[in-house]
Structure 1
Amino acid sequence: MELDDAYDNSGHIADAAAYPDAWAEAAADWRGVESAVGRARLNLPYGKAARERFDLFYPAGRPAGLAVFVHGGYWLRFGREDWSHFAAGCTAAGWACALPSYTLAPEASIPAITAQIGRAVAAAAAQVAGPVVLAGHSAGGHLVARMAMADAPLDQAVAERLRRVVPISPLSDLRPLLRTSMNAKLGLDPSAAAAESPVLGRPRAGIVATVWVGGDERPAFLDQARWLGTAWGCPVRIAEGRHHFDVIDALRMPGSALLGDLLGG
Structure 2
Amino acid sequence: MNDTALFRGMDRTALDAAYNNSAAVKDSPQWLDKWRARSAKAREAQGALFDIPYAREERTKFDYFPSGKKNAPLLVFIHGGYWVRNSRDMFSFLATGPNAHGIDYVSAGYTLAPQASITQIAGEIQSCLNFLSGHGEELGYDDRQIFVSGWSAGGHLAALMAAHPAVRGTLPISGIFDLEPLSLNYINESLHFTPDEVKTLSPYRTLRQGLAPQRLVAGGNELPELQRQTRDFAQAARALGLKATDAILPGHHHFSIMDELAEPGGLITRELLTLIAETPANKN
Contact 2:234 2:245 in 1 (8 A): yes
CA distance in 1 between counterparts of 2:174 and 2:202 reads 14
Q: CA offset at residue 121 of structure 1? A: 1.8
- For structure 1, which segment, 194-203 or 220-229, has the greater mean C-alpha deviation from structure 2 after superposition? 194-203
What corresponds to 1:56 in structure 2?
64
- Counterpart of 1:138 (choices 145, 149, 152) is 152
**What is the identity percentage for the equivalent residue pairs of Structure 1 and Structure 2?**
34
Q: CA offset at residue 204 of structure 1? A: 5.5
Trace 1:39-188 onto structure 2 (pairs within 5 A): 39-128=47-136, 129=142, 130-149=144-163, 154=164, 159=165, 161-188=166-193
Equivalent residue of 1:61, what SS?
A: coil
Compute the RMSD of aligned alpha carbons: 1.5
TM-score, normalisation: structure 1: 0.90
Q: CA offset at residue 255 of structure 1? A: 3.5
Contact 2:261 2:267 in 1 (8 A): no
What corresponds to 1:223 in structure 2?
228
The amino acid across from 2:192 in the alignment is G
Contact 1:134 1:165 in 2 (8 A): yes
Q: CA offset at residue 13 of structure 1? A: 1.2
Which of the pair has more CA radius of gyration?
A: 2
Distance 1:228 1:194, change over 3 A: same
What corresponds to 1:14 in structure 2?
26
- Counterpart of 2:39 (choices 3, 20, 27) is 27
CA distance in 2 between counterparts of 1:134 and 1:43 reads 19
Q: Which runs of 5+ in 2 are unaligned?
A: 1-11, 137-141, 239-243, 278-284
Contact 2:174 2:219 in 1 (8 A): yes
The amino acid across from 2:43 in the alignment is R
Q: Which runs of 5+ in 1 are unaligned?
A: none
What corresponds to 2:9 in structure 1?
none
List 4+ stretches of structure 1 deviating above 4 A.
none
- For structure 1, which segment, 121-130 or 241-250, has the greater mean C-alpha deviation from structure 2 after superposition? 121-130
Aligned residues: 252
CA distance in 1 between counterparts of 2:176 and 2:118 reads 12
What corresponds to 1:262 in structure 2?
272
What corresponds to 2:261 in structure 1?
251
CA distance in 2 between counterparts of 1:11 and 1:80 reads 22
Q: CA offset at residue 131 of structure 1? A: 0.6
Contact 2:220 2:253 in 1 (8 A): yes
Q: CA offset at residue 126 of structure 1? A: 2.6
Contact 2:78 2:158 in 1 (8 A): yes
Contact 1:63 1:94 in 2 (8 A): no
2:275 is equivalent to residue 242 of structure 1: no
Q: CA offset at residue 64 of structure 1? A: 2.0
The amino acid across from 1:207 in the alignment is A
Deviations 1:14-68 (A, max 9, x none): 3122122211111111102x1xx2x211100010000010001101221421110
Contact 2:199 2:206 in 1 (8 A): no
CA distance in 1 between counterparts of 2:92 and 2:209 reads 29
